[in-house]
Amino acid sequence: MEYLYHRVPKNMAGTTLYPLNVLKETRPEVYNEHVKKYEGRERLLTTEIPPLHCLWNDVLHFTAVAPSTLKANLAKADIELPSVGWFKVPVSLIQEENSIAFTYRRDEDLIPKFKEYEPFDPARIETYRIVPQETIEYYKQKKAEGVRPLLFHLVPHILYKGSLDTKDLEIVSS
């Protein structure tokens, strides 16, 4: 069975993962905490995802990269990832018509380009697991600058328009 991963939110209440813009309406205090990760990248908050007819924060963001791989790649840059939980999501739970893959190439303003989206295809899961060498070099550069890196820079994202019940999902640690 193939899996995607989503970090377990620190302040998750209940068993359902919701996109950030849903939290803005239903749990503004949680939204205010999570939106901080977009400091310096606020334009992403209003970026449209044309294939799904929604905004960047109307979707859940998943990775096909296992947490152990993420941790190992960060270690190559002498960055320690604190141990956190990750939902291990069977690919079969992700409805293909509500999801896309984003290959994470960006323009100078860090805004996704339409051509970088493709239909999510579970048969291409190995492609979505690729962590480019440029990502590891980016980690090293940010470490040298004393700046926390974006964990999934240049790594494909699986974007899912919807919420996800997590009550029966396994949680793995990084």
Is the distance from CB of 34 to CB of 12 less than 8 angstroms?
no
Q: Are 56 and 47 in contact (CB under 8 A)?
A: yes
- Read off the pLDDT of residues 45-96 as tens digits, 9 standing for 90 and up: 888 898 899 999 999 999 999 999 999 999 999 999 888 999 999 999 999 8
pLDDT digits (tens, 9 = 90+) for 92-107: 999 989 999 987 655 5
CA distance 55 to 58: 5
Question: What gap in Å lies between CA 137 and CA 43, rounded to an integer?
Answer: 25
Domain count of the fold of the chain: 1
Q: Is the pLDDT of residue 8 over 80?
A: yes
- Structural domain of 136: 3-173
Tell me the pLDDT of the chain averaged across its residues.
90
CA distance 172 to 67: 8
Query: How many whole angstroms from its chain centre is CA 13?
Result: 20
